[in-house]
Structure 1
Amino acid sequence: MMRAWLILFASGLLGLPTITVRGFSPSPTLPIKLPTILPVNGVIGGSIRISSFLASSRDDDDDDEEEEDKEESINPNDLETPDERRNRMDNVRKIQKSFYRQLQNQQQAEGSSTNDRTTTTAISDSCNTILKNVPLWRVQWTELPGYQNLLNCHVAHYTHMFHTILAGPKPWYFGHVFLPGGSENLDNPDYQLLSSEESNNKTKATYTGVLMQVADSRQLEDGRLVLVVQALERFQVIEATQHTPYAVATVQLCPDTELAMTYYDKAQSMARELSDDFLHDQDAWGAACAAALEAAEQLRQFEYRPVLVQSSTMGAVAPLVNYDMDVDVETVFPLDMDRAQAQKERVGTVMEKHLFSASPVDLPDNLKQLDLEQVGQLEHEVWLGVDELVKLLYQLNPNPTSPIVTPVPTQMLGLLPRGDCCSQQYIPWPGDFKLDQFANRLEDYAAAMPPTVGTYSKSPFVRYDYADNPLKRYPILRRAQRLSFVVWILMENIGPVGNQPVVSRQDILEMHSISERLEAARDRLKAINASLRRVADQQ
């Protein structure tokens, strides 16, 4: 079974952007391999060819059948010319936009009259960790922060949901929540979303999800919606305010423990200074979480490169989100003292507002002091495990004279530090470490031809610290957090190895800390590499 998996893994059939290498010396042209079939996760699941549902043309055989149907048809729409059909669909879309715009205006008017948020576009207080009226897309798979997807939406209730979202202002938010069986179980009482007080042992529903944003959308002539969506932040469903035709809920955003701990001491001091009435631990933790979310919001335009639906025909919609090298670096990482101070003051204002206006947030279990050294050590060990995996695959290549395809997405290679993760200084990796050679060569190639490096086209390779300077402006914890999610793309299609159980995407999403995910990834890589090493020893 291990040999069968190895052949699949080494042949690059995991549906990932990959780098072709010979003997671990990247070729000058660094050929990038992209599968001809990309996953389009929708309520129908499975994989379909992007061009097949974006293109309007049909095969010749289909054209003959279409002519026969036209002769027998009594539907005038079947006899339309292409121009007539295009004009009719334009009118249909205008009516749709008018309907959903009126619906949005009505909901916003109701919200202002009741002093509550009733719009289906999720809006948050800048000082709060709570999002109200978040439409939920409950489907049969889990998404992780840092991932993106091309959705093919054709079911009526979810098409209606996305039209309603798109009629509102940006950002177009919705929640992605795992539901076994998808739409089949939306009305199943066993999977009903209850309030947090009612949920204990009364439902099989999943309450941990991820906040998504719609980056772009396109409506096809048959009414389906094609959307590029990107996963942003973990959340916990607090209460469902609507169950049908689709769920709507109040959710609480959940930044990783380490990111919130960055602001916890300051929040505690602020709570003590402002009032003796605060529950210092819970109030301070909520303020620290709000500060971490504000800091994440400031980095989002760098961390999430915009992608258009039309790019999918050129292979630009990769499974992982790319950093945006076109962003104004000074806006995101200001060196100007006044602008940098203004960013810090915004975070401080968010903490203060949260202390006065938001509900306390329970502290996570086993809360520990922030240990950047531990996070860096785990990050380092994960990269060593990935590097060993690549070398073992090369060793087990049945045909050493032919190239082996390493399934390491270029977006993941962009997270590779230039030196030891455990130090602020650039310390070389071990002498036999290979991944930095790939990343450095990709970086050099990207500097020469930025539009064509990455997943295939129009998705440039970006090193996380491309805007390099002595201050190392991109936060180390953000880099480690992204790695803690994206590294699992290498392992999620692998079954049990030895005594170690499979770690599902939902398991990963429900982990509350960067260290916990990195530790799980390190252990999983160790188990996989040990199995591969045993196979190599038997040869």
Structure 2
Amino acid sequence: MAARHSTSRGAALLLSLLASLSSGRGFVAPASTRLPWPSTRAMARGAGSQLAMKDKPVGTTPEVQSLKNMFYADVSSSASVDDMGVVHDLPLWRVQWTELPGFQNVLNVHQPHYTHMFEKIVRGPEPWYFGHVYLPGGTSNLGKQDFKLSRGSKASLVGTLMQVRDLRTLEDGRQQIVVQALQRMVVVNETTGENPYSVGTVQLLPDMEQTMAHERRLLAEGLVKPAEVRTLARACTIGESLSWAELSCRKVAIADGSGGGISQLIPFDAVEEGSQEAADRAVEMAIRCEERSAWLVNDLTEGTTGNGGGGAGGDGGGASGDKGGACVVDMLFGEDAMGLNHFETGSKGNLEDLMLADGLLRSGPANGQSRNAMGSGSGSEGVADGIEAGGSGVGAGGDIGASGPKEVDAPTAEAEPRLPDWTEANVGVGVDEAKYSVTGGRPMNSVEQAEYDLWTTLDTMIRLLNELNPAPQQRIPMPSQFIGLLPQAPIKPWPLGFVFAMVVEKLIEAKAQVGTASKSPFVLTDSVAWPILLRAERLSHVASSLLEGGAVEQELGPNGVPFRQQLLETAGTAARLRLVREKVEAVNGLLRSHLEKG
């Protein structure tokens, strides 16, 4: 076995696999670029990173600053998320790759229409939201009829809600921006107007398991009528996610990466495990979610008052009595009001079907032609500065370089709640969920089982890589923020010698500051009582970081949809976890094949 480890074939394979895990993001978009991840060798030579920010920032002279202040003087508001997860007038950044929730990047923006867009965003109050939507061909296809944000075009409608965390403008006019990817969204309609970039109304897309968990809770508690439970459950899901956003997305500034880069994955806010602060914060989050749920239940069941005929109000009035509150959360159900006719979602263009059946958005143009959805995700972790568990060969850490809601009348007739369409096209993988109804609910342990299976498959990959490793002292890079998602109470015991459990123990014991350049405390999410389904959802997205740049990840899925976009468009957490696991199993098969060849 020792001889096999020392063969050039084994060394070449390991280096190739490590390169696929830690190579720079090789894709360059015309409109902007992600700053390349810092080379470990370059940093060792003192070459530094593009995040060193040696360029003189523009706007430091009084004249330039005065001109900018005059130009953006009318910016007084920012896009905001309402209780139904709707964002009006959201600036849309349409580029040539797909971004997934849980990732963060430093963007290098140089196209004038996008530098204007981001400057305008940060001139308003925080949070600074924008939407990331994949666009084949990038800026060259902006404004073309074939790539309009409408059903039947070649454009993707499913994207990611992003948040700007910091922006710096350089002397040549380029912008370097720290951004974080928060949650899936769908573009409902495009309202660009006079802007040189896309603007639209979007709706957040929570994973179906989270919404169904709230449905079961609301029905069990008898708080709402069955016909209203789907709408309220979705609102509660959005509220829960936003309530935890502060904890799950630590703010990162450009200066944090001045020594070599920022982490590829969004770090959690630092809370020492087991401390009173952690317990207090968990209670605070639970109370905040409960208060939001209570407010929405009251609004939905009792109605609100307005200047019209009652209900959700506004000059046009709303439905009266116990239907009033529905106007607040069902605002997108009328096709005439929001231009939803192109979604073909029923007699009223009901967005509810769209929310639960992302397969509708993946099916391509109405003429049956598959849409050209080519995404590009690249980049990954550098070799870590983190802790190496004894015998595991895994390093933790690693960095990367460089208005109010509109309202429409609520439906007047009550209807039985529709069941989700549990089909292979809508869920993404498998149809075994079909036997579960909304009222019965999909058992949460199906998510936890998929989560467990992915972790153990990744453990197998690490073991196979270690067996092929010609240099045992060389650690395999592993994002520490990813390791922090490890369940501490899995549905069954971890296998004997489970690598990730050993790494977590070491990180906690050392109270580690992780990251090769921008340091942040290691946070085990279970220690701060982060909800299980939110934890699993984050894992289903960020686990793909271990596959970036490799041939397995770049294979196209059904209808020519690339892997990252396929993950983004998958409606359920369990299905997404299984998709990632399938890719990891493919990698494991290649590793076993090389081991057998010797």
Q: Does 1:228 align with 2:178?
A: yes
How many pairs were matched up? 446
Which SS does the other structure have where 2:491 is aligned? coil
Residue in 2 aligned with 1:345? Answer: 291
After superposition, residues 137-148 of structure 1 pair within 5 angstroms as: 137-148=93-104
Q: Distance in 1 between matches of 2:555 and 2:116?
A: 45
Q: Distance in 2 between matches of 1:329 and 1:89?
A: 44
Q: Is the 8 A contact 1:9 1:407 kept in 2?
A: no
- Report Cα offsets for 1:24-49 as digits up to 9, x if no partner: xxxxxxxxxxx8x9999772436546
Contiguous gaps of at least 5 residues in structure 2: 1-8, 39-47, 301-324, 334-350, 357-420, 423-433
After superposition, residues 405-420 of structure 1 pair within 5 angstroms as: 405-419=475-489
Q: Does 1:307 align with 2:278?
A: no
Q: Does 1:161 align with 2:117?
A: yes
Residue in 2 aligned with 1:440? Answer: 505
Give 2:475's aligned amino acid.
V
Give 1:178's aligned amino acid.
Y
Q: Is the 8 A contact 1:209 1:234 kept in 2?
A: yes
Identify if the C-alpha distance between structure 1 residues 145 and 98 changes in structure 2 by more than 3 Å, giving closer, same or farther. same
Identity of aligned residues (%): 33
Q: Distance in 2 between matches of 1:184 and 1:462?
A: 42
Q: Does 1:422 align with 2:491?
A: yes
Q: Distance in 1 between matches of 2:567 and 2:480?
A: 22
Which SS does the other structure have where 1:103 is aligned? coil
Q: Is the 8 A contact 1:11 1:404 kept in 2?
A: no
After superposition, residues 43-82 of structure 1 pair within 5 angstroms as: 43-45=31-33, 47-48=35-36, 51-52=49-50, 54-56=52-54
Residue in 2 aligned with 1:377? Answer: 449
Q: Is the 8 A contact 2:257 2:518 kept in 1?
A: no
For residue 520 of structure 2, the aligned residue among 433, 441, 459 is: 459
- CA shift for structure 1 position 389: 0.6
- CA shift for structure 1 position 342: 5.6
- CA shift for structure 1 position 326: 4.7
- CA shift for structure 1 position 86: 7.8
Give 2:549's aligned amino acid.
N
- CA shift for structure 1 position 454: 3.1
* TM-score in terms of structure 2 length: 0.68
- CA shift for structure 1 position 221: 1.9
Higher relative contact order (CA 8 A, sep 6+): 2
Q: Distance in 2 between matches of 1:498 and 1:193?
A: 25
Give 2:75's aligned amino acid.
Q
After superposition, residues 32-431 of structure 1 pair within 5 angstroms as: 43-45=31-33, 47-48=35-36, 51-52=49-50, 54-56=52-54, 89-100=61-72, 102-105=73-76, 121-125=78-82, 127-194=83-150, 199=151, 201=152, 203-242=153-192, 244-268=195-219, 280-281=226-227, 283-326=228-271, 329=278, 332-334=281-283, 340-341=286-287, 343-353=289-299, 355-356=325-326, 357-359=328-330, 361-363=351-353, 364=356, 365-366=421-422, 368=436, 369-397=441-469, 399-400=470-471, 402-419=472-489, 421-422=490-491, 427=493, 429-431=494-496
Q: Distance in 1 between matches of 2:58 and 2:291?
A: 52
Q: Is the 8 A contact 1:89 1:221 kept in 2?
A: no
Q: Is the 8 A contact 1:303 1:323 kept in 2?
A: yes
Give 1:45's aligned amino acid.
T
Give 2:13's aligned amino acid.
L
Give 1:96's aligned amino acid.
K
- CA shift for structure 1 position 143: 0.6
Residue in 2 aligned with 1:533? Answer: 592
- CA shift for structure 1 position 87: 8.2
Q: Does 1:14 align with 2:2?
A: no
Identify if the C-alpha distance between structure 1 residues 42 and 286 changes in structure 2 by more than 3 Å, giving closer, same or farther. farther
* TM-score in terms of structure 1 length: 0.75
- CA shift for structure 1 position 14: 3.1
Q: Distance in 1 between matches of 2:554 and 2:514?
A: 38
- Report Cα offsets for 1:68-123 as digits up to 9, x if no partner: xxxxxxxxxxxxxx9xx9886343134313421x2224xxxxxxxxxxxxx5x212
Q: Distance in 1 between matches of 2:585 and 2:554?
A: 11
Identify if the C-alpha distance between structure 1 residues 436 and 422 changes in structure 2 by more than 3 Å, giving closer, same or farther. same
Identify if the C-alpha distance between structure 1 residues 351 and 8 changes in structure 2 by more than 3 Å, giving closer, same or farther. farther
- CA shift for structure 1 position 298: 1.2
Which SS does the other structure have where 1:333 is aligned? helix
Q: Distance in 1 between matches of 2:517 and 2:199?
A: 37
